[in-house]
Amino acid sequence: MQQIAKMRIKKVITYSIVGFVLGLTAGFISTLLDDSNRVDRVFISLSGGLLGLTLGFQFGYLEEFVWRSISRKVSFVTFTIVQSLTYLILIILWLILVLTIENIVNDKMDIFEGMAHYISKENFLRDIIFAAIMTIILIIIGKLKMLYNSVDLFSLLTGKYYYPEEETRVIMFTDLVGSTTLAEEMGAIKYSNFLQHYFSNVSESITAWGGTVYQYVGDEIVISWKDKRKNNSQNAINCHFDMLRIIENKRKLYLDTYGSVPRFRSGIHKGTIITTLVGERTKELAFHGDTVNTTARIEELCKKFNCSCLVSEEIIRDITVSDQFKVDKISDVAIRGKSKSLQLFSIEKSL
């Protein structure tokens, strides 16, 4: 939970910084439109920055600590309306507050005169339009983030991976145990809700440990870590066990709602892959290469060796085995589709 809390706090800080920069920029642009003098320009720009910082913090808090819990409890339309109105009202209220204070300081008005003066000016209508545009942009960005992860979205917008690039990545395949039986017992709709609930619960662990979801394939999650940091192999292992912990903490909820608790196995491997955008009208980030196929085969072997997490020798080389994990070496294993056998290791939490 500590790792997830850190991730959420970092995101709130990021929202705050982005809000400050955007507010500072918007404040400066407004002084150019109003032909303000140099002193007013600095004051208004800083006011815009502080306003952006405050709004950024509030939006970040809402995104990370409020909307996540609400979004699955109400309909999509209701959630979008509530979210839009909240953003719009927050922006307008803070604009009124900041500019009322400006009137009080500069023109020696009382609070009611300052507020009435601002609302009666034509600038108020301009600011309302600005608030509406900002709200629309925020909602669109939020919905795009639901369709694309941040890596895919960045790649689409910047053209990165337009041409194939060779990269070293840590790949983890996580597969639900007994999915066919579960689907038959629950029925299509209930099983789909079960999967969505499971995916939603483990997604925060994935993000908290620096992973990016590459694909959801049926009941399987394919996760990757760019090999920029030395601890990403360890992060992948930590991610697996953090996912197990989260599901275990929600055991009663799953049993009460679905009559079953998700169980899954993970295979983890590291190697060179080719990353590129594929498709013509609809673009999608794709991983090509033997590393992806090998990781899938490693995950399949979890059942044979009766373990929840199976990793390759490349992963073991990267990590420092601590007392919290029990690592067992498995003899060279023949991998389907490969001429050479692999040295694999099972990893479990120490009791």
Structure tokens at 317: 């080389």
- Residue in 106, 109, 126 with CA at minimum distance from that of residue 117: 109
Low-confidence ranges of the chain (pLDDT < 70): 1, 34-39, 106-107, 122, 145-153, 155-156, 229-230, 351
Provide the whole-model pTM: 0.77
Please tell me the predicted confidence (pLDDT) of residue 120.
Answer: 78
Give the span between the Cα atoms of 301 and 109, in whole angstroms. 75
* Cα 338 to Cα 3, 279, 290, 295, distances in angstroms: 37, 29, 9, 12
Q: Compute how many other C-beta atoms are within 10 angstroms of the C-beta atom of residue 110.
A: 10
The H or E element that residue 147 is part of is: helix 122-147
DSSP structure class, residue 215: E
Give domain limits for the chain: 2-147, 150-349
> Closest by alpha carbon to 275, among 169, 171, 165, 173?
165
Q: Report the alpha-carbon distance of residue 196 to residue 211 in Å, rounded.
A: 19
3-state secondary structure 226-290: ECCCCCHHHHHHHHHHHHHHHHHHCHHHHHHHHCCCCCEEEEEEEEEEEEEEECCCCCEEEEECH
E strand or H helix at 28? helix 2-34
User: What phi and psi, each to the nearest 5 degrees, are found at residue 264?
Assistant: -145, 160
CA angle in degrees (0–180, nearest 5) for 177-183-187: 155
What 8-state DSSP symbol labels residue 209? T
CA distance 307 to 266: 9
What residue type is assigned to position 212 of the chain?
T
- Position 302 scores a pLDDT of 93
Q: Do residues 313 and 345 touch, judged by C-beta distance below 8 A?
A: yes
Question: 150-349 sits in which CATH class?
Answer: alpha beta
270: Cα separation from own chain's centroid: 22
In the chain the first and final C-alpha atoms are separated, in Å, by 19
User: Other CB atoms closer than 10 Å to residue 139's CB: what's the count?
Assistant: 15
